[in-house]
Structure 1
């Protein structure tokens, strides 16, 4: 086979896998081989654009679908929000009340369908940040939960204890005020932070500080047993993950009320 033969084979295969169904006087649904993990196909529609030409759109169904198992508001905040904006910009998509679309000419229709399909894949992938939190979003989520439970006015982020040796080398993620003893809270998204939190807690104990401590993991099960064991010995309270909302609130309020 040569390049022309391969191109012809691919074109026939790709064209054969795309179907168009009429859904209204000026609305057509484009069926493609692209599917979500549960097997449902992407929602891609073609309609007449208000300014002429054609509009390729998901009719708002992608975000509606994601809302069944995700907090859509979080997709528009922090790192997730910046990534969503970048995804849409890369594909040249606009958004109107949750509907993703781009306008095209008849000649550009095929390319536009490919672009929106790629964008919908990337939008869906943002939801994995809920289950596999990268470090940046983990800390954002931790800060948000703390503010909800105790209020921003009771939090001091990046707290450096006065009066201890080399204090700036041993910062506390959060000092939470209001308890009988000061509460020092650490977010732990990975093994390196688990080791650092252990070192800081041990240093504070050796310095004669009297305090309560709490550690919130991204996922405690991901840590090596030895690192987890050392940190368990150093801290008062632990939360397995940020998804353990009830335990997080109960243990936190017990220390600061």
Structure 2
């Protein structure tokens, strides 16, 4: 490891401190920081065949957990997207990147920027997190439910795009309409739309999938329950059961 440690010092013109934590585990104390000013945690360890691993031993996610929980599928998807886009691996919280002497400097800069981005997840706009709900719903429908002929943004009442359903399925002669609901406004739109379909004597089955059913006000829960035929209280529930219920509609 001595030669690789010296190479790192040379690459950074000596503007870092390297501390051996355990045999073959070295911490790189670099002047690279998170948004709040804390130094980014980075370690290097040999992997054999002149290869090395840059890693954080779980400290980036541990640090994030003090102020931000990755407690929903959407937030987990954001994390996985950051890891994938930066070609990083994660094992039991340890985020790492395999490297070699020829690319060591650029890999150090690359992984520390990724750590900084993960560390700033709590600053991400709520709209970004919420929009992933629709992105994941859309992906699942057109990847897994294609046999039921899904269509997007359909108008059961012609020329009333203000009452369009998010999706329709055609398992038999009667369409199944679906609304994705992430907030109170969308819950009320789904309720209003289904009431309008009934008033226009449209034959259909009405479904709703909510991002978080329990977060809706009690009255909105009741309205949805009274106007739709089937509710999925989370995206996970929809993924597990949608195909079974569509099969029953055949």
Q: Shorter-chain TM-score category?
A: 0.5 to 0.7
1:143 is the counterpart of 2:138: yes
Question: Cα offset for 1:83?
Answer: 5.3
Say whether the 8 Å CA contact 2:97–2:111 is kept in structure 1.
no
Q: Which residue of 1 aligns with 2:20?
A: 20
Counterparts of 1:104 and 1:199, CA distance in 2: 58
Q: Structure 1 length as normaliser, TM-score?
A: 0.58
Distance across 2 between alignment mates of 1:59 and 1:101: 12
Change (3 A) 1:173 1:114: closer
Paired residue for 1:250?
Answer: 244
Equivalences for residues 156-175 of structure 1 within 5 A = 156-161=151-156, 164=157, 166-175=159-168
Work out whether residues 56 and 113 of structure 1, in 8 Å CA contact, stay in contact via their aligned partners in 2. no
Structure 1 residue 232 displacement after superposition: 1.1
1:133, CA displacement in angstroms? Answer: 8.8
Aligned partners of 1:151 and 1:113: how far apart in 2?
A: 38
Q: For the structure 1 residues 155 and 84, does the alpha-carbon distance in structure 2 shift closer, same or farther, using more than 3 Å as the test?
A: same
Shift of 1:193: 0.3
- Which of 112, 115, 119 is the equivalent residue of 1:121? 119
State TM-score, norm by structure 2: 0.59
Tell me the SS of whatever aligns to 1:134: helix
Gapped regions of structure 2 (runs ≥ 5): 1-17, 30-39, 47-51, 63-70
Matched, 1:58 2:55: yes
Alpha-carbon distance, 1:167 to partner: 2.1
**Which residue in 2 is equivalent to 1:154?**
149
1:175-196 deviations in Å (ceiling 9; x for gaps): 1012241111111111110001
Shift, 1:117, TM fit: 4.8
1:202 lines up with 2:200 in the alignment: no
Q: Give the length in aligned residue pairs.
A: 197
Any idea what SS the aligned residue of 1:243 has? helix
Structure 1: runs of 5 or more not aligned: 1-17, 32-41, 49-54, 89-93
Q: In angstroms, what is the RMSD of aligned CA positions?
A: 4.6
In structure 1, what is the equivalent of residue 212 of structure 2? Answer: 219
Indicate the SS of the match to 1:178: coil
Q: For residues 184 and 117 of structure 1, do their structure 2 counterparts lie closer, same or farther at Cα, with a shift above 3 Å needed? A: closer
Distance 2:227 2:217 in 1: 16
Aligned equivalents of 1:188 and 1:234: distance in 2?
14
2:186 aligns with 193
Give the Å deviation of 1:249.
3.4
Distance 1:120 1:165 in 2: 46
